[in-house]
Amino acid sequence: MELVTEVYKISAVFPREDLYGLTSQIRRAAVSVPSNIAEGVARQGSKEYLHFLTVARGSLSELETQLLVARNLGYLQEDSAIFTRVEEVFALLGGLIKAIRGRVKPQDSR
């Protein structure tokens, strides 16, 4: 959730002409991360939770790529703290995925 808030704050200063392009894409990808985690928690069983966690990780990768594009366009500074935050969320999500995988029974993963 903190990542989403940070993304909205930094993207608020992106050029107005990009509001419906990269700015919108970045915001959607950021919101998708906690949304998929929440949906996974609400589902029945570890297998479904794991699925939504991997979708969240995909959205996080998409967000990282879009932030790199924004940096290349000069919308973000080279050393923007948002990249550190993304890496922190990757680590947290990776740890959670590893923990949930340990709970999924072999017959559940078919």
The confidence score (pLDDT) of residue 104 equals 76
Backbone angles phi, psi at 44, to 5 degrees: -90, 120
This prediction's pTM:
0.90
The confidence score (pLDDT) of residue 25 equals 97
What is the token pair recorded at 22?
């990269």
Q: How far is CA 58 from the centre of its chain?
A: 7
The confidence score (pLDDT) of residue 108 equals 52
Q: What is the pLDDT along the chain (110 residues), one digit of tens a residue?
A: 999 999 999 999 999 998 889 999 999 999 999 999 999 999 888 999 999 999 999 999 999 999 999 999 999 999 999 999 999 999 999 999 999 998 876 665 44
Range list of H helices, 1-110: 2-11, 22-42, 46-72, 81-103
The confidence score (pLDDT) of residue 107 equals 60
